[in-house]
Amino acid sequence: MSDKDYAPLSAACVRALNDKFYEKRKTAALEIEKMVKEFAAVNNTGQIKRILKILGHDFALSQNPHARKGGLIGLAAIALALGKETDGYTEDLIKPILGCFSDQDLRVRYYACESMYNVVKVARSAVLPHFSPIFNALSKVATDSDQNTKSASELLDRLLKDIVTESTSFDLDAFVSLLRERIYTRSPFSRQFIISWISVLNSEPQLDLINYLPEILDGLFRILEDTNLEVKKMCETTLGEFLRNIKSEPSRVNFGAMINILINHAQEKSDELVQFTAITWIKEFVQLSGRPMLPYISGIFTAILPCLAYETDARRMTDIKETASAVNFTLMKLISLQNSDATNEDHAEVRPNDFEDGIPQEIDLQSVVDVLIQYLLHNSIQTKVAVLQWIHHLYTKLPSKMVNYIDLLFPALQKTLSDEADQVVQQCLIVIAEVISAPTSPSPGTKGKNIYYNKFIVSLLLLFSNDKRLLDERGSFIIRQLCLLLNAEDIYITLAMILLNETNLKFASLMVDHLNMILLTSSELFELRNRLKDLSNEKNRELFLRIYETWCHNPVATVALCLLTQSYSHVCDLIKLFGSIEVTVDFLMEIDKLVQLIESPIFAYLRLELLEVPCDKHLVRALYGLLMLLPQTEAFVILKTRLSCIPSLHLQFDDKVVVRKKSSDVDFQKLLAHFKEVQEKHKHYKKENRTKEILLFDREAPSDDT
């Protein structure tokens, strides 16, 4: 290329721009600056554009790195010469410089930053139409391996931020588009660059970056996961600034557009800071937004319910648990408020926050129930208790809606009764009691009882039948709690009616034994015991007869029941029949337990009756009958010692004296016949089972041919 091709640049200037020494290139730049000032003074735009084209094309795109450096310093000189007149030349100045930001030569990259700094310093807001490519170039050099280049880019970055924050026409839409593209970068340096820009713009009220938060929030939380502590701290601070802005102006915030992002990150168990920050935001969203959060309640459950399980001394984990608990509490209050308004819906006015985008804020109970059932299987006691409390809360506050989900919840609740934690079982029973006592779905012939009442009692007995360990370890606890939560008489009558027709007679006998012990010993059954002691009352007699019919499955339990009701003559008749009953080890153990009961405070009144004059001969004969059934064990000695305490004078009976102090219209002969009938069924049941066992053994035994 001949010298004239570079006109108006002199040959000396061209050589100097291509020189490897900076000082010579600097001299050429000063010459260019002087020349451009002269052209600008006479408004010779043609020559200025000619120089821009030479520097931007022939030099900035040259294969020679020194020429590229010369072109960059020359472009900066043009900008300095033009001063405020750069507006018409910014594109020609910026475009070639940007091309050098990714140059392989680190010194070229450094001079590109320096040159762009000078252009931006002079042009100021005139460079904003070209903000996107400049921002892109800066984001790349932010990760540059050369520290000098990085330092130069940081100076340019600060200058550009000053210009943006001063501007009243900055295109925030375009900037957020850039952020969306780059916010998912994994480079710590790029993340620092992104965060610094977000922080600066967020600090400027006129830019209103909070409206764009839904578009960048997920990216911010991903940056918060960074292992670089400096990046993590910067992001945490920026998120804190956003949250402060949200709390100060909640009316400007689109909570619904961000809540699912927070729910997702609140489940990030591998990073405690991310999880804590997300749950903290959820807490603020629920408190600030209120009802518009209700459609998202199932998702919020997935975020907070597992956090209630945290048991640790670590401060962060404790904070997470406490924050999750606060969210849980606030949501419960929201449900209560909704229920309150629903109760008065005929008089309620529609409030602005009851709608979001024209959609009423209602709970999707189907998804809520699905999530609650899922977390009933959680391994944490606290989480399961919270789930059960929620089910109970929803049933009490939204009964007409929750009734549609009983069939879904009921199997899960029944399964929870087998939980190892008393606290879980107790809370489960509270829920079940609420469900089966609600008069929402009466069944024909049940006098308004919920159809699930009998269904639950049947399923409970089936559970006990299939899991003897549960019956032994939890049976008493479960039944006592039910009697406390519901009507004890109803519970016992329902159990008795179902067990009366139980085909597994062995289980029926075992279950009656458990129910009898509960009846005779638990404080929850105190009133029921007192009623059974007074058979002169017709309702009490009906109660006694219903229980007696079923108690006949267990001879010793029947005797205990009649001792409680002071039906001593009938006890004697029953004990006489014991001679025809197969006396097994289990049978003797039950009599042993009965002796222990007679010595307990429950039967104090019975022991005192032994001091009556004349003494009730049926009571004495009944006790001696029990004594004769026992082998000479510890129980035998206890009962014998007790009987020896009766004053000999009292043993003189007078048949003319009516010893029954309370009149009773009970047909004990009919009851005795029923007892015999039931015991006969047990006799045949045992025989059939033994026959089946023998046949099964014969089939399984190896033949002689094998």
Alpha-helical (H) ranges within 346-442 are: 365-375, 381-397, 399-402, 406-416, 422-437
Place of tokens 């931006």: 120
Three-state DSSP state, 639 = helix
Confidence (pLDDT) at 701? 58
- Asked if residue 122 lies in contact with residue 37, where contact means CB atoms within 8 angstroms, the answer is no
- Crossing angle of helices 106-123 and 131-141, in 10° steps, is 140
Per-residue confidence at 147, pLDDT binned at 50, 70, 90? very high
Rounded Cα gap, residues 225 and 681, in angstroms: 71
Half-sphere exposure of 4 (CA within 13 A, CB side): 0
Whether 555 has a pLDDT exceeding 70, the answer reads yes
Closest CA to 371 of 322, 342, 420, 405: 405
pLDDT score of 184? 95
Question: Is 447's pLDDT higher than 90?
Answer: no
DSSP 446: S
What is the model's pLDDT at position 311? 74
pLDDT for the residue numbered 538? 92
3-state DSSP assignment of residue 359: strand
pLDDT of residue 704: 54
Strand-pair partners of 356? 359
- Is the predicted pLDDT of residue 427 greater than 80, yes or no? yes
Q: How far is CA 677 from CA 517, 578, 670, 684, in A?
A: 24, 14, 11, 11
pLDDT value, residue 705:
52
- Window from 83-87, 387-391, 545-549, 566-570 with minimum mean pLDDT: 83-87
The answer to whether residue 75 scores a pLDDT higher than 50 is: yes
Residue 356 pLDDT exceeds 50: no
The mean pLDDT of 386-405, rounded to a whole number, is 93
Q: Mean of the per-residue pLDDT values for the chain?
A: 89
Nearest to 513 by CA among 589, 577, 420: 589
Q: Is residue 156 within 8 Å of 195, Cβ to Cβ?
A: no
Q: Cα angle vertex 578, ends 577, 581, to 5°?
A: 105
Q: How confident is the model at residue 449 (pLDDT cuts 50, 70, 90)?
A: low
User: Which two structure tokens, joined as six digits, stand for 383?
Assistant: 């989480």
Comparison of pLDDT for 613 and 6, the residue scoring more: 6
Across the range 34-58, mean pLDDT stands at: 94
- Mean pLDDT along residues 59-69: 94
Q: CA torsion, points 152, 154, 156, 158, in degrees to nearest 10?
A: -150
Say what the pLDDT of residue 116 is: 97
> Quick one: tokens of 361?
């804020």
Q: Identify the weakest region by mean pLDDT among 90-99, 227-236, 361-370, 518-527.
A: 361-370
Residue 694 pLDDT: 78
Beta partners for 450? Answer: 442
Dist CA 156 CA 94 (whole Å)? 13
At 352, the pLDDT band (50, 70, 90 cuts) reads very low
pLDDT reported for residue 4: 52
Helices (H), 167-227: 172-182, 188-202, 213-224
The whole-number pLDDT of residue 79 equals 96
Our measurement of the distance from residue 121's CA atom to the centroid of its chain's CA atoms, rounded to an integer in Å, reads: 54
Least confident of 1-15, 315-329, 542-556, 605-619: 1-15
Residue 344 has pLDDT above 80, yes or no: no
The CA-CA-CA angle for residues 574, 647, 521, to 5°, reads: 50
What pLDDT was estimated at residue 359? 37
Residue 161 has pLDDT above 60, yes or no: yes
Complete DSSP assignment for 581-632 = S---HHHHHHHHHHHHHHTSGGGHHHHHHTT-SS--HHHHHHHHHHHHHS-S
Phi and psi angles of residue 487, each rounded to the nearest 5 degrees, phi first: -85, 120
**Coil, helix or strand for 533?**
coil
Output the pLDDT for position 579: 85
> What is the pLDDT, as a whole number, of residue 646?
86
Task: Tell me which of 303-317, 384-398, 439-453, 531-545 is least confident.
Answer: 439-453
By mean pLDDT, which of 117-121, 187-191, 204-208, 379-383 is the weakest? 204-208
The predicted model gives 497-502 an average pLDDT of 94
Phi and psi based region of residue 290 (left: phi greater than 0; alpha: psi -120 to 50; beta: remaining): left
Asked whether the predicted pLDDT for residue 661 surpasses 50, the reply is: no
DSSP annotation of 313 reads S
What residues have CB less than 8 Å from 453, skipping those under 6 apart? 436, 437, 446, 494
Contact 405, 433 (CB under 8 A): no
- Host H or E run for residue 187: none
Distances (CA, A) of 671 to 241, 453, 543, 678: 80, 29, 14, 11
